[in-house]
Amino acid sequence: MHVILDLCVVPLGVGVSVSQYVVACHKELEKTGLKSKLHAYGTNIEGEWDEVMAAVKKCHEKIHTMGAPRITTTIKLGTRTDRDQTMDDKVQSVLGQLE
Amino acid sequence: MHVILDLCVVPLGVGVSVSQYVVACHKELEKTGLKSKLHAYGTNIEGEWDEVMAAVKKCHEKIHTMGAPRITTTIKLGTRTDRDQTMDDKVQSVLGQLE
Amino acid sequence: MHVILDLCVVPLGVGVSVSQYVVACHKELEKTGLKSKLHAYGTNIEGEWDEVMAAVKKCHEKIHTMGAPRITTTIKLGTRTDRDQTMDDKVQSVLGQLE
Amino acid sequence: MHVILDLCVVPLGVGVSVSQYVVACHKELEKTGLKSKLHAYGTNIEGEWDEVMAAVKKCHEKIHTMGAPRITTTIKLGTRTDRDQTMDDKVQSVLGQLE
């Protein structure tokens, strides 16, 4: 089952600046080889369900290891059985109609 | 790693009424034995990370099997290493201060 | 336009325990007279769009006033034009089919 | 109060393909003059709270007008009082540390 997922990880108890934790999460994602793309309120990831979810777990584990005692995460994720669709397809299907 | 998760599964391409799919998802959750509680915009679930995530996957698989070609899901999830906390603890810590 | 909304407000930069801010937000909601119900990962609210959104803004303003320098909030919200539906209706339409 | 918001609008009861509604929403956003940027699972928007929230409402109204009887939307939004921060700042603070 292929999934497109939007991940937003927020560490609590580490002060107001959290970018170093987002960076660490991003590096974990890069290690997995999954396709991912950062935006201003999260990161889009795509791949097989189990691999993507394992990557999300890795991010939580990493951020706790870095000293964050608490993490709250928001995820949006989509699966479909009618056809294959990538992150790029989704963006292009909108941009194509905007032109 | 213990997790408290809020799950909102939305099938697309099956018309405007989606409660039968939410019901099916809820039955999948009940089979797992995980503690869960329905609210008006999702379901709270708690347990070990892998078990909870496996339950979320089961919901997606079940709803696709029922004929929904597309699902978009929103999840909030929290982990913490500083102390144990249940769903009931979270609600009580707020309600206790409201009295 | 009637809306059912799920609100989860997370203050950053105030340490790991955030319940006092959730309590303050809940008190703001109570002042509005809007129907709301707390759960383990947020609060369900229903009412007219403008009133509900004004309540969300009040929560942000209140929590900043209490000293939180940063807030990240997750909202799910639903509107429908085919029929009236309350938060209780949504829960009952699922629970009724579970029995 | 400046806000950075991530908007994901999902019309129900209109079949499995929803891109035309996302396009219409995007056009509404463009009319407002607010800065916005599409990604694979939503759109980032920034501006003053009231203007951004008015834009979100416009999207719901437009999509209902197009015939969608039901909409479920997921929003993440952030406000901060400690300093000014744009969407570009957020992305750059992560990318800068990745290099």
Is a pLDDT exceeding 90 seen at residue B33?
Answer: yes
Burial grade of B91 (CB within 10 A; 0-12, 13-18, 19 or more):
middle
Predicted pLDDT at C93: 92
How many CB pairs (< 8 A) connect A and D?
A: 89
Token duo for residue A30: 């890069």
d(CA C67, CA C64): 5
- Residues from B contacting D (CB-CB < 8 Å) are 10, 12-13, 15-16, 18, 69-70, 72, 74
Mutate to test the interface with A, among C72, C73, C76 (most CBs of A within 10 A): C72
Chain B interface with C: residues with Cβ < 8 Å: 4-6, 8, 16, 19-20, 22-23, 26-27, 37-42, 44, 46, 74, 76, 78, 80, 82, 87-88, 90-91, 93-95, 97-98
The single residue listed with the structure tokens 């997606």 is B60
Q: Alpha-carbon torsion D23, C44, C64, A8, what sign? A: negative
Q: How far does the CA of residue D99 sit from the closest CA of chain C (Å)? A: 26
Q: For the purposes of burial, counting CB atoms within 10 Å of the CB of C65, is it exposed (0-12), middle (13-18) or buried (19 or more)?
A: exposed
Residues of B in contact with D22 (CB under 8 A): none
Q: Do A71 and B61 touch (CB under 8 A)?
A: no
Hey, which residues does C37 pair with through a beta bridge? Answer: C44
In which residue are the tokens 């999954």 written? A34
Q: Encode pLDDT of D43-99 as tens digits.
A: 999 999 999 999 999 999 999 999 999 999 999 999 999 999 999 999 999 999 987
Angle subtended at Cα C14 by Cα C11 and Cα C15, rounded to the nearest 5 degrees: 110
Contact of C93 with B19, CB cutoff 8 Å? yes
C-alpha–C-alpha distance, residues A9 and B82, integer Å: 18
pTM of the entire structure? 0.97
Residues of B in contact with A1 (CB under 8 A): 57, 60-61, 64
ipTM surpassing 0.85: yes
Read off the pLDDT of residues C38-90 as tens digits, 9 standing for 90 and up: 999 999 999 999 999 999 999 999 999 999 999 999 999 999 999 999 999 99
CA-based nearest residue to C12, from D80, A74, D90, D45: D80
C75/D79 CB distance under 8 A: no
Give every CB contact of residue A18 below 8 A, 6+ residues apart in sequence.
A10, A11, C12
Phi/psi for B65 (5° steps) reads: -60, -35
